[in-house]
Chain A
Amino acid sequence: MTNYVVRRLLIAIPSLLGISVILFTVLALAPGDPFEELATNPAIPPDVRAALRASLGLDDPVWTRYFSWLTAMLRGDWGYSFVSRVNVDQLILARLPTTLAIIGASQVLALAIALPVGVMAATRPYSVFDQVANTLAFIGFSLPTFFTGLLLILLFSITLDWLPFVYRADLTSTGWTWWGEQIRQSIMPVAVLGLFQGAAWTRFVRSAVLDVIRLDHVTTARAKGLPEGSVTLRHVVRNALIPVVTLVALQMPTVFGGAIVTEQIFRVPGIGSLLISAILANDTPVIMAVTFVFAGLVIFFNLLADVIYGWLDPRISYS
């Protein structure tokens, strides 16, 4: 098992290198110049600008720039933002907790909806409960988050004025009031993300449970005289979790992608909105670092999916 994880981590190195090459090339080919801001500043004379460009290595060929980026990165130097003049790693570290808190809470909400609803729907197929759950799930994952987000803002912030529509990282209050305000401003982004994911997963949980519920070993469990609750939990849901957990772990990167849009709508100062503003401002070091962090998360969750898969299913062996 440890061997397997180590081997997988080693395989991750070439993947990350490949991803970084592609990212760097795409950014180099993209129109716009990170130096644009300084270039349009009339206070800086052209010769100073040229000297600055040369000292920053902006005129070097792409591969030279890539290798200097890579060596700096490996030494732990992630560069600094052209726009905010702050080190990129500090910028990311300051915003990552917010993103993780919002995404974490929304995923917990999604699972808290999807697991019970999906299992209940599958154990009573084609019942009224199943039909209603299915319809709501269908609506839930058909509506994009940017639409439901605006809808919620319109309803709860503008019409009813119950919740703030801008997420603030600089809350001045302390203690319980801080927690209260934190929760109040998190409700809408968490709900938008969580309900969307929850809807998609409800349908998946339902079909996974339906696949298991017809298997022979479930009849065996009934023939053993187990109560229906134990049969469902121990012999149906436990087995159905294998594909569900894999899917949840594999979908995590998509969730981070969805969070970018949601963060933008609610002005949540997470790394998603950092990426958007960096792209708009041509802030290459930040774009590079944030996308790289996303790539790392994709690889990490893939590995996590495989490890959990093996833990849930004894038929998988890692030797």
Chain B
Amino acid sequence: MSEALLAPSAAPARDTTPLLDIRGLKVHFKTDDGMVRAVDGVDITANRAETVCVVGESGCGKTVTAKTVLKLIDMPPGRIVAGEIRFEGRDLVPLPPAEMRKIRAKQIGFVFQEPMTSLNPVYTVGQQIAETVRQHEGLSRRAALDRAAEMLRLVNIPNPQRRVQDYPHQFSGGMRQRVMIAMALSCNPKLLIADEPTTALDVTIQAQILDLLDEMKQRLGMAVLLITHAMGVVAEVAQRVVVMYAGKVVEEATVEALFATPRHPYTQGLIRSIPRIDRAASVHARLEAIPGTVPSLLNPPVGCRFAARCRHAMPDCVAAEPPLREVAPGHKVACILYPEHRP
């Protein structure tokens, strides 16, 4: 059992089709005030065994994008208006609910933001992990509980044999997030989507959870799609980064390229707004912030959505929406500052 778990799930290194390929995804929500275009044409890819970070501020559509992959948004009011979500080449958008359930947890695991409320308070953590395993692998109750204990051991929870009998309220926030990760990984999925898994935790625990995610990825060989708003988290774990703003992708690059040469003014602003201990000590400069607020997604402005807050804005910015184009190998940006965007 433990050997099977510790072995990488598969080694299709030659397979060049991306594991997850989101193309032109549009998710709109019907509200009393009108249609909210929460996700408005998003492309994200994740290759096997790769860690991709989706970063952006609150309300940029990153969580909706993540939840839409498993169709966990409420429909209605939400609706997938356009786009494809290809997982191993198969489009998940038209899949019927019964097929979708076979993908959830078995192929794609999901870790939520709030470990305090994401577990059911009336069942033991063992029962909750075992429930997932039984659903997908048809194990007996006994075997599923053994797997649950095995998973708790894997995520470094002490005394796993005894802890499976405990209820969620007997765990701290960090421990509950470990339980959530154990549950998401219990069926050995090929992709783990983690939606701000450390936001609700305090800083020391955040680092432990990020380390755990990284360790799990090394041992189990799955790909990770990590949603976050913290550039520090991005720098620590990502291989590739997708920057989202107001329901759109504005820049995509490897983590090295993004921090070395951020292209989009929004990304540049995000990086400048990271507090730096070396500067704080020498230069008496105020921490830079991006002025203004995110535009309403109810009636998004025409043209570049960042134009109103951009220090490089020019008249052409509001004329038409800049598409995402490659400006360097593997580095895409949606901004007319770059020659690739000029006709």
User: Interface residues, chain A, CB within 8 Å of chain B?
Assistant: 215-217, 219-228, 234-235, 238-239, 242, 312-315
Contact = CB atoms under 8 A, between A and B. Distances in A.
Given A224-B105, A225-B105, A315-B169, A219 B72 contact: yes
Contacts of A313: 121-122
Contacts, number: 67
B135 A223 contact: no
B72 A312 contact: no
Given A216-B112, A216-B114, A315-B167, A225 B122 contact: no
B118 interface: yes
Nearest to B187: A225
Contact of B132 (A219, A224, A228, A234): A224
B244 interface: no
Given A223-B70, A223-B110, A224-B135, A239 B120 contact: yes
Interface of B: 70, 72, 97, 101-106, 110, 112, 114, 117-122, 124, 131-132, 135-136, 167, 169, 180, 183-184
Contacts of A221: 120
A238 B122 contact: yes
B122 A220 contact: no
B122 A223 contact: no
Contacts of A224: 104-105, 131-132, 135, 183
B97 A312 contact: no
Given A224-B104, A313-B121, A314-B167, A219 B112 contact: yes
30 contacts: A215-B117, A216-B117, A216-B118, A217-B120, A219-B72, A219-B112, A220-B120, A220-B183, A221-B120, A222-B104, A223-B110, A223-B112, A223-B184, A224-B131, A224-B183, A225-B103, A225-B105, A225-B132, A225-B136, A226-B131, A235-B120, A238-B122, A239-B120, A239-B122, A312-B122, A313-B121, A314-B169, A315-B121, A315-B167, A315-B169
- Please indicate which of the listed interface residues B102, B106, B122, B169 has the most CB atoms of chain A within 10 Å of its own CB: B122
A28 B340 CA distance: 99
Given A312-B122, A315-B167, A225 B104 contact: yes
